[in-house]
Amino acid sequence: MKIILTEDVKKLGKKGQVVDVSDGYARNYVIPKKLGVEANNKNMNDLKLKKANEEKIAREQLETAQAFAKELETKEVAVSIKSGEGGKTFGSISSKEIVEAARSQHGIEIDKKKIQMQEAIKSLGTYEITIKLHPKVTGKLKVKVEEAK
């Protein structure tokens, strides 16, 4: 019997997959526990429509992320930090401070977890920070670290 899985089932398959199982296993376990439905014409058509909708949503999210990445490349965020003689800073600039500066200066909402910095910024200058907007899209944001007055 062919079954469309509605949940992930260990050793059987992932959600949305069409699998072939024995009749007894389908009638006594998979269907009563709502782990899957019989793969008849109506359910197969519903599955196709659902997959098409999910692909459309994924494509729209990718396009939105690409547009946001292009917008980020034109922006520059200025962050100030106290520094002593010779440009030595007191403390460092973290991703949280970059997110707050982007929000206040440009009205851009960025999740601080998506900012990819190997280490915190500890000196004055201009830096290019990588931001992972989507699994396939990364954006770059310029961060200018200035001396606080």
Element (H, E) at 64: helix 41-73
Beta-sheet pairing, 137-147 with 121-123: unpaired
- SS (HEC) of the chain: CEEEECCCECCCECCCCEEECCHHHHHHHHCCCCCEEECCHHHHHHHHHHHHHHHHHHHHHHHHHHHHHHHHHCCEEEEEECECHHHEEEEEECHHHHHHHHHHHHCCCCCHHHEECCCCEEECEEEEEEEEEECCEEEEEEEEEEECC
Note the pLDDT of residue 85: 78
Note the pLDDT of residue 51: 93
Question: What averages of pLDDT result for each successive group of 10 residues across the chain (149 residues)?
Answer: 94 93 94 94 94 95 94 91 80 90 91 89 89 92 88
